[in-house]
Chain A
Amino acid sequence: MANLGGPCLVLTGNVKWVERKVWPGAVEEQKERMGEDKVKAITTSWLVLVVADLQIESEKLLAVEDVSDLWPTVKNAFEERLPFKRAILNNKTRNPVLVDKLPAEFILTTDARLRSRFPQEQLLFWFREPYASLVLVTCEIIAVSMMIGTVSFMLVALRGILICTSQDLDEFKTILKPRLKLIVQNDEREWFIVFVSKAHPNNDQATKMAKKVYARLEVDFSSKKRERCCKLDIHGPEPNFWEDLEIKIIESIRNTLDRRVQFYEDEIRKLTLYPLFITFLELLACHNTLFCSQESLAFMFEMAHLHEDALREYDELELCYLETVLRQLTLLDVVLQAAVDIDIFVNMTGKQREFGGIENGDEEAALLNFENKPLTQIVQDDSFREFEFRQYLFACQSKLLFKLNRPFEVAARGYTFIISFSKVLTQHENILPFCMREVWIITACLALISGTYSNYNEGLAAPDIEKEFYRLLGDLYSLCRVKFMRLAYIIGYGSDIERSPINSASLSMLPWPKPSVWPSVPPDASSELILQATPRVKHFCIQRKPLPLEPSVLLREANRRRASLSAGNTFEMFDGRSAIDGSGSDAPLRMSSLNKAQTISMSRTNSSPGFDGSIDRPMRLAEIFVASEHALRQTISNPNLWKSLSSVEEFEQKYLELTKGAADNYHRSWWKRHGVVLDGEIAAVFFKHGNFDLAAKSYEKVCALYSGEGWQDLLAEVLPNLAECQKILNDQAGYLSSCVRLLSLDKGLFSIKERQAFQSEVVSIAHSEMEHPVPLDVSSLITFSGNPGPPLVLCDGDPGTLSVTVWSGFPDDITLDSLSLTLAATSNADEGAKALKSSIATILKPGRNIITVDLPPQKPGSYVLGVLTGQIGQLRFRSHSFSKVGPADSDDFMSYEKPTRPILKVFNPRPLVDLAAATSSPLLINEAQWIGIIVRPIDYSLKGAVLHIDTGPGLMIEESHVIEMESYIEVSQRAGDIANSNSALNDCSLADNKDFERLSLHDGRIQLPDWASNVTSILWIPVCAIDNNLARGSSTGIYSELSTAFISMYGLELLGAILVKATLNIFDAWLDLQDGFVHTGKGDGRPISGFFPLVISPTSRAGILFSICLRNTAAEVEDVAVQPESILNIRYGISGDRTAGAHPPVTAESNGSEGARQDLIFRSALVLQRPVLDPSLAVGFLPLPSDGLRVGQLINMNWRVERLKEFDQNKDSQCNDEVLYEVNANSDNWMIAGRKRGHVSLPTEQGSRIVISVLCVPLVAGYVRPPQLGLPDIDQANISCNPPGPHLICVLPPALSSSFCIPA
């Protein structure tokens, strides 16, 4: 194969070229024969049948005319079988593949296509050789004919031999058989024989003969391994003949294919293993051969309808090519560095580096058109052009992919190809025509789009592949769009291109074309006017710096690329304006044949000074445009494309078409954002043409996209456009909402003036006559929330005042004519929200405002704020409690992520206040004393509360007194405080903290002060216990004079018991005695004054003794007023704390006289009785014998009875001197001997005495009570015991006796 290098270098496998090179004149020949169409079909996979002379190669055979009727007879039958169905072929990896339709073609051996092969070419283009030989044999006419068929590019050669024998076997043996042998032996092809029997079934002899010949044939040519013969009976073929034939043909084809694949693979393997460092040309030669081999293989697969394999071969081929290019480059580096073989280098660069693409029409991308260009010329030039080759390669791949029904893959590969090829074009841009790259990309994209789209059917692929496909189409459209815009800009349509973010993003990062020399103005430049663009003023007078569409200043770039340019005057370069505004934007407005005097104009006429022939002068922008346009006209050969650039209208139409295409396709893909953004571009065009309705619709979509995801910067760019559309369309609702949205955008996005303009629009519409008043959602602009802190707590039935914080996003104050807020119960959704209305006009300042709303009584439950509604002029607005589009950045505004907080809680009825007595203490009767009531609110404000007091019976409130109220500190807390501080100073400060107020009582009602509404307080009420009776002591028995002191003790005890916790000061005490009693001594009955004041501390007792005696009635004069009872008087004072429960009584004028002593009088009545003890007899117990008593001992008990005074005869009626006595003794202990009871005589004189003796015997031992002597007739009070008898006496056991009688 090494010798193939030279010529193969250029044989890059272009079929068309192959056709011409291998079969010179064949096409023309065919044209004459079949007409143009069929010839063209050769290069496709259509069927072509060529029947040619039979006798070209074999002169010895008989004349053709004799046989010419055999092939035509069977031809139709044969061709009916085409294309072969369900053929099984082997692919490259020897796996069987089912091919549904295998097109084939029968041609005769005499076919022109089989002629004139150079032997070395035959190997490379072996794939074109027939794949099977069919030998047709018959036995009726002595003639041999050969037929060859082609199957598209895969040929099935039919080599038919028509034997015209004299129906005899000998002739077969002698003539036919050697010839057949010759044919099959010389031929490397797969072959088999078809015996055509023309014998009529009725003609027995002929039939027999035919059978004989066929049998002979089988013997000679068929082997056990393989059947190589089959028989066709013209008059009635065997039923399975055609199947048999088909199988045979396909088998042959398969075998041939396998052999050839093997061959090519070997060939490729050899080539890829080529040593690395051979000379450069050798390498190239080798690789080009490799390409050829590989493409041949691919081609062969394609013919066999093994498209997958063919595609794989092409992919490998491409990969191989790219590798080679890379290797070439590295080798080039090596060569350059070493400077080894300069001749080779020059040779190589001169020849191999030719890129192509400089011919007219090359700018029209041919990436789907593999027969775009007649390559003969290139072949003749013996040059290799990357530009053509790579496009051709891609075209082949895409052709196969289309056949495989994979147009989406074409799109995917195509897009990548365009991008990568665009880079390649950039590298060669200096040799290519002006803007060739851009034009090529535009045409390539359009070709790909139409190519793939026409080959694509809906639902062909899985949904995700489909989406991907549409995305790719969108990408292609937008790439095309960008390049188209770039071209338009260069020729001066820049001002018609919207300076939107998307256009800026794609254009400003795209470098200018880099021709080696920027085109200069042609001499015949037409006269046009270039007017300076007056940028469209946006609605609301929004002024923005336009986004750039150009990577750098075109003027500078173009002039820099001019060969003979000196730096020049910058000012001149910029036409005196761009340099001033410094924006670097050179966007003029081209307006043909328009003359506007106001605008700065520049004439493009030749007469303009210094315009022509001034090559050294920097070009002006206008000139650059004109020059570019002329240069582009040279580049672009496609009239449609040129037309699109010929005028602004055409440009816009094409621009719209491309943008729509991109948007539509993106919409069908995953890339919705791309689609929507492009919709915005379409809207801009609509807007420009006054189609505001469509524009507004598209703008709305864009705005929804941006605002939905919070891209406010981008939104701020589009929203004013939408607003303008809406205003023009008189869509008040939309316009208002747009204004509100503009206002609710980040404050930094618009200047304060612009924001004020938005507000004034809203306000002016609100106050204008609106035909249909529209509700407006201002959720993003006016937000509200409850005040921070716990919610307002109310009880069932309480009215209240709700305070709500409202934030206004308006830049200025705004007047709300009315305002209403709804409250929604959180627990019960069914119950509708209740509206709280505030009909007075509210002025909202920018930022935070606090408004208060009156709250009527609500049902129990928890409430959140619902909706804020209100009116500005005619405009009804509404704000939901939280909005997503709100200005979420500043903390002033409510964050929508926060959960709703209850603003109001209304509770069920419950105790709201706790009233308790401060202390439990008795009252001083008839003295006004403080009663403390502790008022403790239970989580409830007592603001405005009124306390009713009803004293009940026996108590009375002194209405004339003031009522005191002070804050209350719990005792435990206070104790703790004191313990902590333990100093008087702290006590003072504690007292300072107390609130204190004097109140007055009206009709039993007390209005509580405000300060007491939330704190525990204590209310001191002066209460008087009313009792008109005098206190009365209850003691009854006083027995002696000494005991009288206890009377007053009783009184004091009473007092002390009352005032347990108070200190009692007794200043004075005296006793007013009743009749019959007098104070002893000469005093007035008072204790010694030195005792007073007597201080009795709490919990202690004291006693006061009064000394009194019975008055001698005889001595007293009778005129003293009768006093039935004695009265104890005590003058005292109390000092104590009322909080402790004891305190002095309230004085009427209790203001400031707390220090003054208040003396109180305690009076208590006592009844004194005359003393009643009057002993007249004394009974004395005489001592017992000292040696003690023993049981059984007889003793004498003696009692002495003595008369103490004279027996008063008046009083005692019994008037005798006898005294009745009685001895009482326990009969268990004592035995009494003698009289226990009896009368003794006792003289009535004072001092008379007798002794009563009684004999007693003690019965038991121990301490026993002795017998008692009683005088039953005499009152106990008149008996005194003197000396008294003992309580117990000791009785000893009986003395031991020896004279015991012992019973016998």
Chain B
Amino acid sequence: MIVCVAVVGHQNNPLYIQSFTEEDDALKLHHIVHCSLDVVDERVNNPKKSGPTLNETFLGLLYPTENYKVYGYLTNTKVKFILVTTDLDVRDADVRNFFRRFHAAYVDAVSNPFHVPGKKITSKTFAERVSTIVKSFGLSSAG
């Protein structure tokens, strides 16, 4: 289950964080997303480590913890997408697909002329679209 998705700006400022847990514990997900920026930074600043994947937007698994997984995605404008999932069996292809769709939704949202770049995304349409994408996560592969 995806518990949280986030868009983080190029100055590492949160632009959009949505958690999908029932409990009132969004703050811990904020923490997870925020800390995952360490890994993103490390990958971006360490050309040796990133190696061949330097030019790829999909950063892959950021956190190999016991209980949840954090995936990252970096756009060309250095905007990061973070996905936190409690599914321990996630296929990379699914995550890639998810991020691809999420990226499309993000691009649409920021193309809105009323959106101020660098500001939080408040679009309801975007939120709805994201929740649709989250709901459909993994369904394609399962089916």
Contact = CB atoms under 8 A, between A and B. Distances in A.
Interface in B46-101: 46, 48-49, 64-68, 86
A670 B46 contact: yes
B129 interface: no
Contacts of A711: 13-14, 30, 34
B124 interface: no
Given A505-B31, A711-B14, A548 B23 contact: yes
Contact of A501 (B27, B41, B64, B86): B27
A464 B13 CA distance: 26
Contacts of B42: 471, 670-671
Contact of A547 (B13, B25, B35, B39): B25
A677 B13 CA distance: 16
A275 interface: no
B28 A505 contact: yes
Interface in A509-545: 509-511, 545
A581 interface: no
Nearest to A706: B34
Interface string A485-517: 000000000000000011011101111000000
B5 to A, nearest CB: 15
Interface in A1257-1271: none
A709 B38 CA distance: 12
B31 A464 contact: no
A419 B25 contact: no
Contacts of A706: 34
Contact of B27 (A423, A714, A897): A714
Contact of A889 (B27, B49, B120): B120
Interface string B98-138: 00000000000000000010111010000000000000000
A509 B86 contact: yes
A506 B25 CA distance: 12
A713 interface: yes
Contacts of A674: 35, 38
Q: Which of A423, A508, A545, A670 has the most CB of B within 10 A?
A: A670
A897 B23 contact: no
B83 to A, nearest CB: 15
A630 interface: no
Nearest to A548: B25
Given A419-B64, A464-B48, A673-B38, A710 B14 contact: yes
B14 to A, nearest CB: 6
Interface in A854-903: 888-889, 895, 897
A644 interface: no
B35 A714 contact: no
A509 B68 contact: yes
Contact of B35 (A423, A545, A677): A677
A673 B13 contact: no
Contacts of B2: none
Contact of A505 (B24, B32, B45, B49): B32
A717 B25 CA distance: 13
Interface string A360-375: 0000000000000000
A504 B35 contact: no
B117 to A, nearest CB: 8
A510 B88 CA distance: 13
B76 to A, nearest CB: 20
Contacts of A502: 28, 31, 35
Q: How large is the interface on B (under 10, 10 to 19, 20 to 34, 35 or more residues)?
A: 35 or more
B29 interface: yes
Given A504-B28, A509-B68, A713-B27, A464 B14 contact: no
- Residue among B14, B17, B35, B120 having the largest count of chain A Cβ atoms under 10 Å: B35
Nearest to A891: B116
B27 A547 contact: yes
Nearest to B67: A509
Nearest to B38: A671
Contacts of A709: 11-14, 34, 37
Given A422-B66, A673-B37, A508 B28 contact: yes
Q: Chain B CB within 10 Å — which of A479, A502, A706, A717 has the most?
A: A502
A428 interface: no
A888 B120 CA distance: 9
A510 B13 contact: no
A672 B67 contact: no
Contacts of A713: 14, 17, 26-27, 30
Nearest to B14: A711
Contacts of A672: 38
Contacts of B12: 709-710
A897 B118 contact: yes
A501 B29 CA distance: 8
Contacts of B26: 713
A671 B39 contact: yes
Given A504-B28, A508-B28, A509-B86, A710 B13 contact: yes
Interface in B1-27: 11-14, 17, 23-27
Nearest to A673: B38
B64 A889 contact: no
Contacts of A511: 67
B116 A895 contact: yes
Contacts of B120: 889
A308 to B, nearest CB: 22
A932 B99 CA distance: 75
B119 A889 contact: yes
Contacts of B27: 501, 504, 547, 713-714, 717
B127 to A, nearest CB: 16
Nearest to A896: B118
6 contacts: A501-B30, A504-B31, A671-B35, A709-B13, A711-B13, A713-B26
Given A505-B31, A547-B27, 17 more contacts: A416-B64, A464-B46, A471-B42, A501-B28, A502-B35, A505-B28, A510-B66, A671-B35, A671-B38, A677-B35, A709-B11, A709-B37, A710-B13, A711-B14, A713-B27, A713-B30, A889-B122
Interface of B: 11-14, 17, 23-32, 34-35, 37-39, 41-42, 45-46, 48-49, 64-68, 86, 116, 118-120, 122
Q: Which 4 A-B pairs have the closest CB atoms?
A: A501-B31, A710-B13, A505-B28, A671-B38
